[in-house]
Amino acid sequence: MRCVAYCTATSYDLSALANSFKRKNYTIRLLRDVLHISSQDTPVDLFFFSHGSFVSWGLQQRQEKMWLEKLKPFSTNPSPQIEADHFCFTLGDEISIDMHERFKLDMITLDSDNPQVKLAISYGLAQSIKLEAFEDAIQKVIKKNANLPEDITLRGVISLSRNSIFKRMGEIFIARSSINLNSEYLDMPEFFWRNQNLEPFYIMTKKFLDIPSRVVALNQKLDVLQELLAILNSQVQHRHSSMLEMIIIILILIEILISLVHFSL
């Protein structure tokens, strides 16, 4: 069966989403940062996280597309490109996540259809797909500005207009600040403070998806953005200083010309 993690927006309005589906044939459970929706007719579980990610268990692909449309009215800053990570899950003797050797698929094995275990694993899956969205956003900004150091090396200056430099600085600042403000979603969820028996399944998921080392790499990329921001800021200050120097020189020349005119008279 399918298990898919999606990141579609900056955040979801979980309360409004819960109220919308209370009147329909769904079972609703709203926690502080996650909404669990299950169907009374089919063995399906969906977990919507406040940071704009959700994980579906047991849906078919066409049903997932339907939910993607349903989510739009409750989404803040929908992503232009939806991130998705696909898994398969099955029932077995013990809970595990492994790569299927034959089909090269990530396989989740559950020992029962316990929604609490699914939720614990979903926390890890949702963090991973949110992290992937962060990684893609940073990589795009870095790629767009990768030529700036080379530009300075070859020409001594950045070959962009003052207005373009300020736009680049704005883009970099927005990328850095949006990730810094949302980095709390990559920490240990409060849910496991009260449900420590489920924490091992969350840790297992984080380890399989290599989340800790990816967070370290993300912070390193943020440092690169900070360096790019410093380069652009230095260039703006240099141009401003050069402009002031030129104004002073022109004023001095004007004063000399005026003095010469008065002296000749």
Q: What is the pLDDT of residue 182?
A: 65
Tens of pLDDT along 206-220?
999 998 888 888 878
Q: What is the pLDDT of residue 125?
A: 96
Q: What is the pLDDT of residue 126?
A: 95
- Ordered DSSP codes for 241-262: HHHHHHHHHHHHHHHHHHHHHH
The CA-based dihedral angle spanning residues 101, 102, 106, 111, taken in that order and rounded to the nearest 10 degrees: -80
Q: What is the pLDDT of residue 237?
A: 66
DSSP-derived secondary structure letter, 214: H
The Cβ of residue 89 has, within 10 Å, a number of other Cβ atoms equal to 19
Q: Give the C-alpha separation, 54 to 66, whole Å.
A: 14
pTM of the predicted structure, to 2 decimals = 0.81
Burial class (CB in 10 A: 0-12, 13-18, 19+), 159: exposed
Q: Give the C-alpha separation, 137 to 161, whole Å.
A: 24
Tens of pLDDT along 161-186?
777 777 777 777 777 777 665 666 77
Q: What is the pLDDT of residue 181?
A: 59
Q: What is the pLDDT of residue 85?
A: 94
Strands (E), 115-264: none
| Residue partners of 187: CB distance under 8 A and separation at least 6 | none
Per-residue pLDDT for the chain (265 aa), expressed as one digit of tens each? 899 999 999 999 999 999 888 767 788 999 889 999 997 777 789 999 999 999 999 999 999 999 999 999 999 999 888 999 999 999 988 999 998 777 678 999 999 889 999 999 999 999 999 999 888 888 888 888 777 777 777 776 676 777 777 777 777 777 777 766 566 677 888 899 899 999 999 999 999 999 888 888 887 877 777 777 777 777 666 666 667 778 888 888 887 787 777 776 6
Cα distances (Å, whole numbers) of residue 193 to 33, 135, 175, 196, 211: 14, 28, 31, 6, 20
Q: Give the C-alpha separation, 35 to 55, whole Å.
A: 11
Q: Give the C-alpha separation, 79 to 66, whole Å.
A: 17
Q: Which amino acid is at 250?
A: I
Burial class (CB in 10 A: 0-12, 13-18, 19+), 228: buried
